Structure 1
């Protein structure tokens, strides 16, 4: 087993006629990490989740067009393709069942996969959760906009214009937005540098707005333990997530991470590791303290 403070460079494997970056760390029951964005990459989780490699096989991968994974030649990206890619990844790696750890958009992807292939999912841990319909995605944008200062709204408007002329980058926009994703700005020093594919974000974002609604499939989750770890000061607060998610999945448990924003893994890594360790080693989420 690799020590928890070490990880390799991973490799590219072919899934659905495209090359995907995949990094497997440790041994044991698999935990597949689903990163956010849409359009970000697996490095968001690093090095924070590495202690889990002492007891589990961690599977970190970049979704299509993200990070080091190959981009779509037609610039077509969709939720259904991402679900298919997870299933192909499972088959390629030889897993009968998997634990899923979904963050932000990844929480939606975890639910999409689990409602499509419930027999392949052991447990689901969601953090920075969004909901079971596009309402959560749209509510996130509204809540974030409400938090923005007038000065930052002005900066963002100007940066959008500068991006069209090549005088600004997406990272300039992140410099304005990132402080709103955390409870304490100091914690931003612990966030890994990640890439971002705006085309992926726009394509899947549009797909979410038009098509994300798993209400009619929620019965397929009834035998899967689900735990939600939501920051107390997330853009979608725990009370909002109770409305958007928990009331629709009554057996799901919700834990509130105190003094924490949207990026629980970055701000409260030790607490998140303890939660994940306990959750993924119990037979049922009802046994969690």
Structure 2
């Protein structure tokens, strides 16, 4: 339980779009960036709530995700960076710290290379990398893990999905066990929504445009910690190649017996890492 239960929920309106935000606790702000693309802020809850004993935890649903609403199907990674900057301005702090998970780790790096003077510290988990290679590698490694029977079922559900005879839940029932080291830990994950359109739009932009190679020098003054599950699709060894070699001052810690969903599967360890890192 948190010592301070102050919780604020509100919508931020930007042009025609409304973005749902939640803040819990008081102190220096940590902004949480959810994955997907297409997931929502509730992925982090209630797992990271102990951090609200010392920090102000700020969550939001990205464009078209969760409780946020978008009236456009023409948006990009740049729009997500601009949205994060709008949230930063509303918070009123000179600097914010970022906690990015999976696609959120990419968004954290995109924001920090755009606004390096706005960022205090960055914690990345289930990290992908600094170019589209990591995004593509993730898909390749997931494909390798799938059993032949699950590959067959996925193809069937994907065809049925096209004619509304199946749902995304059917697909996630097959895929979710591959995101964790132990399938028993899936019971810890609350049911969340997923926006397939956001996934496809941002996914396409990542494939076409995500490359921070020439911008990583802008991160040189920002402390960066990477916490990666030992059995993630992007293993710690791959993270060294895809991220650490490009950002050599970033520190990597391996979480043993853990998959891609570190926050869900190993919350105590993640909170310990986060607390120690953000306390500086």
TM norm. shorter chain > 0.5: yes
Native 8 Å contact 1:67 1:196 kept in 2? yes
Aligned to 1:55: 54
State the Cα distance separating 1:33 from its structure 2 match: 0.1
Aligned to 2:81: 83
Aligned to 1:203: 201
State the Cα distance separating 1:8 from its structure 2 match: 4.4
Runs of 5+ unmatched residues, structure 1 = 283-289
Aligned to 1:98: 96
Aligned to 2:175: 177
**Count of residue pairs brought into register by the alignment:** 280
Q: Distance in 1 between matches of 2:5 and 2:180?
A: 26
SS at the partner of 2:124?
Answer: strand
SS at the partner of 1:63?
Answer: coil
Native 8 Å contact 2:6 2:26 kept in 1? no
Aligned to 1:271: 269
Moved more, 135-144 or 7-16: 7-16
State the Cα distance separating 1:225 from its structure 2 match: 0.2
Q: Distance in 1 between matches of 2:5 and 2:133?
A: 39
Native 8 Å contact 1:12 1:19 kept in 2? yes
SS at the partner of 1:216?
Answer: coil
State the Cα distance separating 1:98 from its structure 2 match: 0.3
Runs of 5+ unmatched residues, structure 2 = none
Q: Deviations over 1:171-204 (max 9, x none)?
A: 1100000000000000000011110100000000
Native 8 Å contact 2:103 2:128 kept in 1? yes
Q: Distance in 2 between matches of 1:50 and 1:4?
A: 10
Aligned to 2:25: 26
Native 8 Å contact 1:23 1:59 kept in 2? yes
Matched ranges for 1:25-44 at <5 A:
25-44=24-43
1:221 maps onto 2:219 in alignment: yes
